[in-house]
Amino acid sequence: MVRYDLRHLKDNFYDRMLELLEKEVKPKEVAIFLFEIGDFSSVQKSADLIKEAGHELLNSLKFNQVDWTIVVRRKD
């Protein structure tokens, strides 16, 4: 399991999240991504991107007042 803090990217974390999944996370490995939520649209968009890329979204939860965490298993 690996953890990535993408909060410093604000609303521009999507490309980096997918890049990390494809290049850094091993097949079937679980990754945790932490990002800022703002207006909550980033939560749905990140879930949609994960699904479109063929990965498995295991969990999605509010970390604190401004941060969100998603847990993803990389595809084979």
Whole-angstrom distance, CA of residue 20 vs CA of residue 58:
17
Which pLDDT score is estimated for 72? 98
pLDDT above 90 (res 73): yes
Count, residues in the chain: 76
Coil, strand, or helix at residue 71? strand
Which pLDDT score is estimated for 63? 87
Residue-wise pLDDT for 20-63, tens only, equals: 999 999 999 999 999 998 888 999 999 999 999 999 999 999 98
Which pLDDT score is estimated for 34? 97
Domains recognised in the chain with CATH numbers:
2-73 (3.30.110.40)
pLDDT above 90 (res 15): yes
